Amino acid sequence: MAKVAVRMHRGRKAFARDVVVLEEMTAVHENQIKPEFLKRFNAVVANWKHRPDFKARKVLGAEAYRLYIYPAGSEEAKQIWRWNVEGTRPHRIAAKNAPYLRFKWDGPGSYAAKTGPGGKWYGGPGRVIGGRWYALPEVHHPGTEPRAWPTVIGKQLQHFYSRSVENAWRRALRRMNQG
């Protein structure tokens, strides 16, 4: 399943399990980092009809601190998220509940997607511009390119994550030195 995992700060193992450090890291993950990541993921799916909820899980270990963001909610919404993030291969679509599939089309490139490949953009109309109506018993879908939002969002927020964790380390070490 596509998810983002951000990992930072492998050093300072001697202090990593200290109560003061864990308190600071928990606070910074819950109050700063997690809300920012969830906000970015929710912005991607803001105009989706079947949008997933997102959840975050933090793992504070001696080796590294990690934050995992993953889709939650209905299975349909999670599957749509996976198809978009991972892409799809070309496939056949056949009519199931009616004799024909009915759709609007104006040739290759007439569909303006809600999202772009590689996670470069999102928020489009998600419809065919112009075109005429067709009714066919089956079509061959060309597949979709992966939208790499977890990777893109992770890269966008890497500096923010690193800076927030580093500041939490400094606060924790100051508290430890004060007694």
137 and 164 housed in the same domain? no
83 and 1 housed in the same domain? yes
What pLDDT sits at residue 4? 58
Average pLDDT of span 163-168: 89
Average pLDDT of span 52-78: 87
Kindly write down the DSSP assignment for every residue of 36-69, as one continuous string. Answer: HHHHHHHHHTTT-SSPPEEEEEEEE-SS-EEEEE
pLDDT top residue among 83 and 114: 83
39 and 67 housed in the same domain? yes
What pLDDT sits at residue 6? 55
What pLDDT sits at residue 35? 95
82 and 163 housed in the same domain? yes
What pLDDT sits at residue 80? 92
Among 178, 117, 110, 179, residue whose Cα is nearest residue 144: 117
Question: What backbone phi and psi angles, to 5 degrees, belong to 174?
Answer: -65, -45
Give the span between the Cα atoms of 128 and 162, in whole angstroms. 41
Q: Does pLDDT of 97 surpass 60?
A: yes
Q: How confident is the model at residue 124 (pLDDT cuts 50, 70, 90)?
A: confident
Question: What backbone phi and psi angles, to 5 degrees, belong to 83?
Answer: -60, -40
What pLDDT sits at residue 136? 94
Q: Is the dihedral of CA 85, 4, 154, 36 positive or negative?
A: positive
26 and 96 housed in the same domain? no
Q: What is the mean pLDDT of the chain?
A: 85
Q: At CA 60, angle to CA 75 and CA 172, rounded to 5?
A: 140
What pLDDT sits at residue 5? 54
Give the span between the Cα atoms of 107 and 81, in whole angstroms. 26
42 and 10 housed in the same domain? yes
What pLDDT sits at residue 7? 53
Q: For the chain, how many structural domains are there in total?
A: 2
Among 24, 41, 20, residue whose Cα is nearest residue 32: 24
Average pLDDT of span 43-65: 85
CA distances to 42, 99, 168 from 87, rounded to whole Å, are 19, 28, 37
Q: In terms of residue numbers, what domain contains 50?
A: 1-87+146-179
Q: How confident is the model at residue 66 (pLDDT cuts 50, 70, 90)?
A: confident
48 and 72 housed in the same domain? yes
97 and 169 housed in the same domain? no
19 and 68 housed in the same domain? yes
The least confident of 89-93, 113-117, 163-167 is 113-117
62 and 19 housed in the same domain? yes
Say which residues have a Cβ less than 8 Å from residue 57's Cβ, sequence separation at least 6.
67, 68, 70
136 and 154 housed in the same domain? no
Give the span between the Cα atoms of 148 and 142, in whole angstroms. 19
Q: How confident is the model at residue 106 (pLDDT cuts 50, 70, 90)?
A: confident
106 and 161 housed in the same domain? no
What pLDDT sits at residue 179? 64
